[in-house]
């Protein structure tokens, strides 16, 4: 098999299983937190709130990027398809006029916030490298599909818009209004997983540092909020029309 076809084939396979990445990160965090030395961390009063704020900011930044991309896309563009590449229209305006893969950039920041929260620089570097290698194949397969689907229109757009690092020199305002309903309908699971990720790292750190399973009040509060978000918006999505909007994926 030619290298070109090998990259595309592996990218399509990785595309189908990209939803399993949070599970891998959760499992990887267990040995990382266990072997990380937090001695200096507990002896300094300002490190915990500073770390939490910085990590939460990274994850929130990723969510904002994803929200802008999803909230200004119509139903004819690729959405939450999991089995194969699907698109009937090409996103080239709004945030897509500054970078070609804002959803993947958003994913990176959402998850890297949790990774930073472990306070392990090697884990940060390893996850960043793995993320790039994993999504590089996915992006390659996706762009091959879009090139075949849209031809010269895709080439003209891709040649002037960078993949990851945004460039504002070719920014074009999108005519599609931002939809909060679309965000609430599509992003609640990511918000839930992010909250659980921070709680999980905190729980592991307490457990491994003290040798005891410690319950803190904010564990219960965070878990309740995460479950409530998931249940409420899942119910609204599947059992009502409150979050439905025409021409939205």
Burial label, 77 (beta-carbon count in 10 A; 0-12, 13-18, 19+)? middle
Q: What is the pLDDT of residue 220?
A: 93
Residue 145's contacts (CB-CB under 8 Å, 6 or more residues apart) are 85, 87
Rounded Cα gap, residues 67 and 103, in angstroms: 9
Q: Is the pLDDT of residue 196 over 80?
A: yes
Burial label, 144 (beta-carbon count in 10 A; 0-12, 13-18, 19+)? middle
Q: Please say whether the beta carbons of 200 and 117 come within 8 A.
A: no
The tally of CA atoms less than 13 A away on the side-chain side of residue 148 is 8
Rounded Cα gap, residues 20 and 219, in angstroms: 24
Query: Is the pTM for the entire model greater than 0.85?
Result: yes
Q: What is the pLDDT of residue 138?
A: 86
- Neighbour count for residue 52 (Cβ, 10 Å): 14
Distance of CA 193 to the CA centre of its chain: 10
DSSP state of 177: P
The 3-state DSSP class for residue 4 equals helix
Mean pLDDT in residue range 185-203:
94
**pLDDT tens per residue, range 56-87:** 999 999 999 999 999 988 766 654 454 555 55
Cα dihedral 14, 195, 67, 234, rounded to 10, equals 90
Q: What is the pLDDT of residue 139?
A: 85
| Token code pair at residue 57 | 């900011």
Domains in the chain, CATH or no CATH each: 3-177 (1.20.120.1630)
**pLDDT tens per residue, range 14-69:** 677 677 777 888 899 999 999 998 887 777 778 888 999 999 999 999 999 999 99
């Amino acid at each position: 098999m030619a290298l070109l076809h090998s990259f595309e084939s592996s990218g399509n396979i990785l595309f189908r299983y990209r939803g399993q990445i949070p599970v891998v990160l959760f499992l990887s965090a267990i040995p990382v937190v266990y072997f990380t030395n937090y001695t200096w961390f507990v002896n300094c009063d300002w490190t915990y709130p500073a770390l939490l704020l910085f990590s939460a900011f990274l994850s929130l930044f990723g969510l904002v990027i994803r929200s802008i991309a999803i909230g200004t896309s119509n139903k004819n563009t690729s959405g939450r398809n999991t089995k194969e590449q699907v698109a009937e229209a090409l996103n080239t305006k709004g945030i897509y006029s500054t970078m070609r893969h804002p959803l993947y950039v958003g994913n990176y920041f959402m998850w890297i916030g949790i990774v930073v929260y472990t306070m392990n620089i090697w884990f940060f570097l390893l996850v960043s490298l793995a993320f790039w290698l994993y999504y590089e194949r996915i992006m390659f397969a996706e762009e091959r599909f879009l090139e075949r689907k849209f031809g010269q229109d895709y080439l003209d757009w891709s040649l002037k818009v960078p993949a990851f690092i945004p460039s504002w020199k070719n920014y074009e305002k999108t005519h599609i209004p931002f939809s909060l309903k679309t965000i609430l309908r599509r992003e609640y699971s990511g918000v839930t997983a992010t909250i659980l990720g921070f709680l999980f790292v905190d729980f592991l750190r307490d457990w491994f540092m003290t040798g005891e399973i410690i319950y803190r009040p904010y564990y219960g509060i965070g878990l309740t909020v995460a479950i409530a978000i998931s249940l409420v918006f899942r119910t609204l999505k599947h059992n009502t029309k409150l979050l439905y909007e025409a021409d939205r994926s």
